[in-house]
Structure 1
């Protein structure tokens, strides 16, 4: 309980509610919740990360956001607010430790001003993130989005073409084609499940719309 409150200070007044919550150790790659299922509770992460995504009608997966310790899962909270089914799925990307606040306990906790303000504040932040995602998907070219996805992770980047495709909501073949184009430009070097960024300035210019791979 002490660790939960340290990670989520807004829960300080809810010690009695938290006292009986078990901690769950969840390995990487575990599906925590699925689209169209009932929400089992409000996840409180202490370690690890959860990737929240939605499947498209074309069978692709679009990443919406990721949840790390101290943050909120918008999909879970909105389902609990409205008492509706989940609108996306959540999968752990790393070994994860979490507690699950049951629906009834979540609704009871909302009576506490600090917790309610915390939830609504993070809810607003997540909505801003999703608005930016919608804008990127609707108006930004895929090569720009891919360039942006490769920045800010250092080098080399340990990932796969499929993982990048899932993050961008497209198919692996298109990502592979773009990565090979970037490699021909000398911006990066590709190897198995690894990308060595050679020219982050060029990638940043493309991501900002001030350069083109044409």
Structure 2
């Protein structure tokens, strides 16, 4: 989603102050849980929300993250289909946003081209991401998925994450991820410390994606 689209949706919402509500939630708060009926659609103004699907064995698979100017396509789908929320949305950081009532989500789809373009753009972006996720789950070994994730998340080689958080991102268990990370450390590709992973050989990690 472009910066222009970001500003456009906020401009649109500012034109309807009586139809929106400012909301906030602390890190760790569950914004929506599986089975909830969705009464509103939240467009984030700051922070990060993670949407994930829990498994019966306790594992979690991250479906996508929501950032500023973005919203949750699962919530939109639930509103349009009058169906319950099929996952869990949890604040990764302190978040704030603008809530649009379900009735206005539907009404604006019929009345506003700007609102339609925003939602369609959001759906298109998420659909592309979900196809990539399904492809990775179905056709990539966990080793390669871990290497891909590390390279995507790193900032100057550093990733602030626990082994449990990595496991939840990749839909695996903490024990399996810890073993894979230890293998990478023993190979000289990463170094591990509490709550932090440091890539020490970028090319070596990248080569895992190509060879696995």
TM-score normalised by length of structure 1:
0.90
State the alpha-carbon separation in 2 of the partners of residues 6 and 179 from structure 1. Answer: 39
State the alpha-carbon separation in 2 of the partners of residues 61 and 116 from structure 1. Answer: 32
Show structure 1 runs of 5+ residues with no match: none
After alignment, is 21-30 or 174-183 more displaced? 21-30
> Is 1:23 the counterpart of 2:25 in the alignment?
no
> What CA deviation, in whole Å up to 9, does each residue of 1:127-165 have, x standing for no partner?
111111011011100010011111132232111000000
In the other structure, the counterpart of 2:50 is: 51
Q: Cα gap change, 1:172/1:151 in structure 2, threshold over 3 Å: closer, same or farther?
A: same
CA RMSD of aligned residues (A): 1.8
In the other structure, the counterpart of 1:73 is: 72
> What CA deviation, in whole Å up to 9, does each residue of 1:158-210 have, x standing for no partner?
11000000000010000000000000100011111111110111111112x23
Q: Cα gap change, 1:20/1:125 in structure 2, threshold over 3 Å: closer, same or farther?
A: closer
State the alpha-carbon separation in 2 of the partners of residues 96 and 176 from structure 1. Answer: 30
> What CA deviation, in whole Å up to 9, does each residue of 1:29-83 have, x standing for no partner?
1100001111121111000010000112333110000000112311111111111
Partner SS, residue 163 of structure 1: helix
Which of 175, 197, 201 aligns to 2:203? It is 201
State the alpha-carbon separation in 1 of the partners of residues 47 and 13 from structure 2. Answer: 23
CA contact (8 A) 1:28 1:93 kept: yes
Report 1:81-96 matches (<5 A): 81-96=80-95
Q: Cα gap change, 1:104/1:195 in structure 2, threshold over 3 Å: closer, same or farther?
A: same
State the alpha-carbon separation in 2 of the partners of residues 14 and 46 from structure 1. Answer: 12
State the alpha-carbon separation in 2 of the partners of residues 8 and 33 from structure 1. Answer: 26
Q: Runs in 1 of length 4+ with deviation above 6 angstroms? A: none
CA contact (8 A) 2:19 2:104 kept: no
In the other structure, the counterpart of 2:177 is: 175
In the other structure, the counterpart of 2:118 is: 118
State the alpha-carbon separation in 1 of the partners of residues 126 and 5 from structure 2. Answer: 22
In the other structure, the counterpart of 2:159 is: 157
Show structure 2 runs of 5+ residues with no match: none
State the alpha-carbon separation in 2 of the partners of residues 100 and 117 from structure 1. Answer: 18
